[in-house]
Amino acid sequence: MKATVLVTGATGFIGSVLVSYLKEQACNVRIFLRPESDREKAARLGVDVVTGRYDNPADLRHALQGVDMVIHLAGVTKSLDEKGFYEGNVMPVEEMLKTVVETCPGLRRFVLVSSLAAAGPARSASPGVKEHDMPLPVSAYGRSKLEAEQVALRWKDRVALTIVRPPAVYGPGDKDVLQFFSALKKRVMLAAGDGRSQRFSLIYVDDLVKGIVLAATAPDACGE
């Protein structure tokens, strides 16, 4: 897949794996880095770096100039209040899509990497959560990811858009799901609900990034 791809959230767990995979696919990768992000880690990725803020249109225009695809991974998973989730997860999507329309109207695809938290938990173990079920997020994080999806979908008639909702992600470099496996290794029993009928969705990070790229290139995923 030869393309110039802008990746946000590239210094994170999933983002760094995605950048490596895109490079393996012969893509020209550019990353958008906030000033407070880890510059040393960004430099180790070996790709073009544009530093800026999502609320600065000039920074976004610079980052988006000449790109074929955008994969938006950046966001926050923890915040003290709803405002922090909005500023980290919703506002950047709105500002990026505005700038895409102005700067690169021929963009092949804008992939918003959301979260299964936007859908909320399944109402029953079977059949689980389906793509078109009514979302019922139960956390402030999940509500902000759903709002970001809704913002993005308002642009789908003007931007080739795809939304991906990963479940919990594990693999080398993960620190969150690792705590669960570390507890099991120490024989600490963890239980949710009645401890018998609960199921959890997990995906290995390499599988996720391959899925993201497939979604970015699949014609049938456009507008979904």
| Nearby residues of 149 by Cβ (< 8 Å), 6 or more positions away | 112, 114, 118, 163
C-alpha span between 117 and 201 (Å, rounded)? 11
CB-CB neighbours of 111 under 10 Å: 24
Whether 20 has a pLDDT exceeding 70, the answer reads: yes
Task: Give 201 or 156, the one with higher predicted confidence.
Answer: 156
Grade residue 173 by pLDDT with cuts at 50, 70 and 90.
confident
Decide: 119 and 165 in contact? Cβ < 8 Å.
Answer: yes
Grade residue 44 by pLDDT with cuts at 50, 70 and 90.
very high
CATH architecture of 4-171+202-221: 3-Layer(aba) Sandwich (3.40)
Q: What is the mean pLDDT of residues 34-40?
A: 89
C-alpha span between 150 and 155 (Å, rounded)? 9
pLDDT at 67: 97
Whether 65 has a pLDDT exceeding 90, the answer reads: yes
C-alpha span between 218 and 109 (Å, rounded)? 10
Whether 176 has a pLDDT exceeding 90, the answer reads: no
- Across the chain, mean pLDDT equals 90
